[in-house]
Amino acid sequence: MDQVKFSREVMHIKDRGSRHLSQETVKKLIHRSQEAKKQAYSPYSKFRVGAAILTTDNCVFTGCNVENACYNLGVCAERNAISKAVSEGYRNFTAIAIASDLDDQFISPCGGCRQFMREGEDLITSSISFFFFSLGQIGMCTYQSLMAHT
């Protein structure tokens, strides 16, 4: 996890490998992830997560976590958003924003989601950036830094 470098301010986004994304785009994507979080079905963990993934042709797909009494049938917000996009024929992504109710740390994809995204370039382009929002701050990391120790 210490390989993941979070920028402390939105201004630093340009320095972290997503030059093509404006601050406005990132803020909108984060907002969409926060809206998606409101749809979370998480009666067991009581932990709401929302994700919004941006395709290279500027479509946004959102997802929330959907839990189940059989816990491992539940799906994370990230996988939900990715699966929705893939189901609609979109496989090339620029960025994904993830929101949770944690207010003291950035949410980070679980091991299962990292495995899911490790599938390769046919599913997730390795140039995708990850954005997180907490305490009024936006953090980001690259695919490579997120996956460094997986």
Active site residues: 78
- Sole window of 49-57, 75-83, 86-94, 137-145 interacting with Zn ion (rule: CB under 5 A): 75-83
Confirm if 50 and 36 have CB atoms less than 8 A apart: yes
Cβ contacts of 28 within 8 Å, gap of 6 or more: none
Is 52 annotated among the ligand-binding residues? no
Return the H-helix or E-strand segment holding 117: helix 111-117
Interaction of residue 49 with Zn ion, rule CB under 5 A: no
User: Looking at 48-56, 90-98, 111-119, 139-147, which segment touches Zn ion (CB under 5 A)?
Assistant: 111-119
Please give the residue ranges that form the binding site for ligand DUR (CB under 6 A).
42, 45, 47, 49, 65, 67, 74, 76-78, 107, 109-110, 113
Q: In angstroms, what is the C-alpha Rg of the chain? A: 14
Residue nearest to Zn ion (CB): 76
The only residue of 13, 40, 76, 95 in contact with Zn ion, by rule CB under 5 A: 76
Is the separation of the CB atoms in 94 and 105 below 8 Å? no
Cβ atoms of residues 52 and 97 within 8 Å = yes
Footprint on this chain of Zn ion (rule: CB under 5 A)? 76, 110, 112-113
